[in-house]
């Protein structure tokens, strides 16, 4: 059994909360990075901050620069935060050709679903044992998806509605972040949240960089739509040609207000506009896309109004 398989088996048995371990760099994650349509300057800022983590923290005392080795990505669902974080892990590792990196992906719900009174212990074990052991073995990046699950804003929690265990779990996360920052400069946390207002302010203050991954603007909508159609065009050339339609810009404008995931799903909706088109996707038209974009936006608005 290879080392990676061994690590995965050990994690399933002993490291509760670690969903997956990947060796880095990983080209499949690089493809995720490329697929997220985002301002190039923002991507460069993210990569620069991540690289700095591994070049500076081992050389500069934390009393000079109090870096915790944590980056927080916030924004609406569907904007690609998790994919961006995974892609960032790959790009960071690829910047250090002589080092072997690992990416640990944490499943926070596996910790908070523990029996009453055990969440704090599960969090402590994850950080102080599993993550610490990985960082001791070499450069490590940890993905904390939906971090508000682990670091809930204590000021907004009611002890009547939320057990004290949840409060203690947030306390444990903060204590462990401080301890790991002191002991492991070759460790970087990439956290994501759809609800930044639900993240404890003490966690946010420990992040070295907080980036808002917003809904795509008009230009980004067009680039996402073009990328999707071009990808489909590799299999169905007629679909790829839709980017040259005089109505393409109108279709991109109709996508304003949708996230990247919704835009790509909207294309799938257009491909299913009729049984005939579903059977022969190359028959889809730009008008089908326009109709699907409008319907998707209308559906989202109805969802927002639902009680």
- What mean pLDDT value characterizes the chain? 89
Angle (CA) 257 255 301, round 5°: 45
Q: Per residue in 6-53, pLDDT tens?
A: 344 434 444 568 999 999 999 999 999 999 999 999 999 999 999 999
Q: By percentage, how much of the chain surpasses pLDDT 70?
A: 88
Superfamily of domain 3-212: P-loop containing nucleotide triphosphate hydrolases (3.40.50.300)
The pLDDT, as a whole number, for residue 303 is: 59
C-beta separation of 87 from 32 below 8 A: yes
| Statement: the pTM of the whole predicted model exceeds 0.75 | yes
pLDDT confidence tier of residue 168, bands split at 50, 70 and 90: confident
Average pLDDT rounded to a whole number, residues 222-248: 97
Q: Per residue in 184-194, pLDDT tens?
A: 999 999 999 99
Q: In the chain, what are the domain boundaries? A: 3-212, 218-297
Q: By percentage, how much of the chain surpasses pLDDT 90?
A: 77
152 secondary structure, DSSP code: B
Going by C-alpha positions, the residue among 38, 34, 16 that lies closest to residue 94 is 34
The pLDDT, as a whole number, for residue 250 is: 97
């Amino acid at each position: 059994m290879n080392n990676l398989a061994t690590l995965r088996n050990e994690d399933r048995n002993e490291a509760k909360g670690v969903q997956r371990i990947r060796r880095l760099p990983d080209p499949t994650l690089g493809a995720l990075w490329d697929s997220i349509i985002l301002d190039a300057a923002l991507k460069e800022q993210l990569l620069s901050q991540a690289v700095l983590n591994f070049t500076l923290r081992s050389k500069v005392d934390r009393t000079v620069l109090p870096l915790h080795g944590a980056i927080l990505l916030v924004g609406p669902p569907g904007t690609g935060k998790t994919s961006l974080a995974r892609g960032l892990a790959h790009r960071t590792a690829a910047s250090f050709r002589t080092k072997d990196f690992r990416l640990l992906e944490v499943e926070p719900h596996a910790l908070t679903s523990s029996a009453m009174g055990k969440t704090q212990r599960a969090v402590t074990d994850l950080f102080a044992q599993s993550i610490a052991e990985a960082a001791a073995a070499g450069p490590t990046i940890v993905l904390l998806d939906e971090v508000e699950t682990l670091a809930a804003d204590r000021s907004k929690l009611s002890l009547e509605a939320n057990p004290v265990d949840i409060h203690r779990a947030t306390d444990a996360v903060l204590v462990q972040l401080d301890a790991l920052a002191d002991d492991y400069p070759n460790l970087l946390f990439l956290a994501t949240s759809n609800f930044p207002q639900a993240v404890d302010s003490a966690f946010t203050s420990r992040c070295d960089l907080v980036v808002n991954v917003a809904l795509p603007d008009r230009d980004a909508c067009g680039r996402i739509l073009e990328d999707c159609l071009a990808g489909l065009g590799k299999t169905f050339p007629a679909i790829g040609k839709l980017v040259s339609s005089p109505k393409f810009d109108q279709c991109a404008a109709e996508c304003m207000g949708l996230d990247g995931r919704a835009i790509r799903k909207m294309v799938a909706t257009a491909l299913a506009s009729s049984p005939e088109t579903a059977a022969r996707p190359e028959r889809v038209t730009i008008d089908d896309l326009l109709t699907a974009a409008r319907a998707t936006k209308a559906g989202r608005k109805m969802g927002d109004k639902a009680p």
